[in-house]
Chain A
Amino acid sequence: DAGITQSPRHKVTETGTPVTLRCHQTENHRYMYWYRQDPGHGLRLIHYSYGVKDTDKGEVSDGYSVSRSKTEDFLLTLESATSSQTSVYFCAIRTRDREGYTFGSGTRLTVV
């Protein structure tokens, strides 16, 4: 199984503060993704990466930035957290064509 870990698992932060979520993989897969999951909206793609320093926006990227300086780490940053960014955030990797995607356990973020 592809090793993928997210940190922190839970976080409560105040409106206006910066927050960084980390996704770490152990198998050097090229593609990494950040999704958010909200009731009534399902899973929506925020940003994705197709290599070191190569990233692009997904469908709900406003208010988020990402960085990938090493193959194994993909960071998601909320520059100035808002209550609308309260959500569960999932990181995913695309392994191989025949294996599909593997997801991390998620980070539950609450912005108060």
Chain B
Amino acid sequence: KQEVTQIPAALSVPEGENLVLNCSFTDSAIYNLQWFRQDPGKGLTSLLLIQSSQREQTSGRLNASLDKSSGRSTLYIAASQPGDSATYLCAVDGKELFSGGYNKLIFGAGTRLAVHP
């Protein structure tokens, strides 16, 4: 059964710092890994998707890497801003044999980020 772990659970940093959020997963047979952002009381916004054949993806100040063989992904946020304050969720898309071979997205518990001025 796929399990996704995110470290740290919470992070508080001053504005301007570069950050690394970590995600690990137990089953390396994944299709994609997707990073989401969630603001309090809101829905999920997709930030980056890394396909299993890719090593990294970049969008603006965000860079996500994937090491499928070791079951790890990192989300790098450069020059953090107060507007980056949110919960960041890592999720892996894969198939599990017992489910009949259909894709499912499994989430980590998230990293709650606070960036203060």
Which residues of A are interface residues toward B (Cβ below 8 A)?
31, 33, 35, 40-45, 48, 50, 56, 58, 90, 92, 94, 97-106
Candidates A42, A92, A106; contact of B110 at CB < 8 Å? A42
Say what secondary structure dominates the interface of chain A: strand
Asked if residues B49 and A94 are in contact (CB atoms below 8 Å), the reply is no
Quick one: closest A residue to B49, CB to CB? A100
Give the contact-size bracket for chain B: 20 to 34
Asked if residues B44 and A100 are in contact (CB atoms below 8 Å), the reply is no
A97-B102 contact given A42-B108, A42-B109, A43-B107, CB 8 Å threshold: no
> B residues 59-107 with Cβ under 8 Å of A?
89, 91, 93, 99-100, 102-107
A101-B43 contact given A48-B104, A94-B93, A94-B105, CB 8 Å threshold: no
Quick one: closest B residue to A40, CB to CB? B109
Give the A-B pair count, Cβ closer than 8 A.
57
A98-B93 contact given A56-B102, A58-B104, A90-B43, CB 8 Å threshold: no
The answer for the CA separation of A103 and B36 in the assembled complex, in Å, is 10
Tell me the minimal C-beta distance from A40 to chain B in angstroms: 8
For A102, what are the chain B residues with a Cβ–Cβ distance below 8 Å?
46
Candidates A31, A40, A42, A43; contact of B103 at CB < 8 Å? A31
Which residues of B are interface residues toward A (Cβ below 8 A)?
31-32, 34, 36, 42-44, 46, 49, 51, 89, 91, 93, 99-100, 102-110
For A33, what are the chain B residues with a Cβ–Cβ distance below 8 Å?
104-105
For A50, what are the chain B residues with a Cβ–Cβ distance below 8 Å?
102
Q: B34, B36, B99, B105: which has the most chain A beta carbons within 10 Å?
A: B105
Asked if residues A45 and B110 are in contact (CB atoms below 8 Å), the reply is no
Tell me the minimal C-beta distance from B86 to chain A in angstroms: 14
For B91, what are the chain A residues with a Cβ–Cβ distance below 8 Å?
43, 101
For A97, what are the chain B residues with a Cβ–Cβ distance below 8 Å?
31-32, 51
Asked if residues B46 and A101 are in contact (CB atoms below 8 Å), the reply is yes
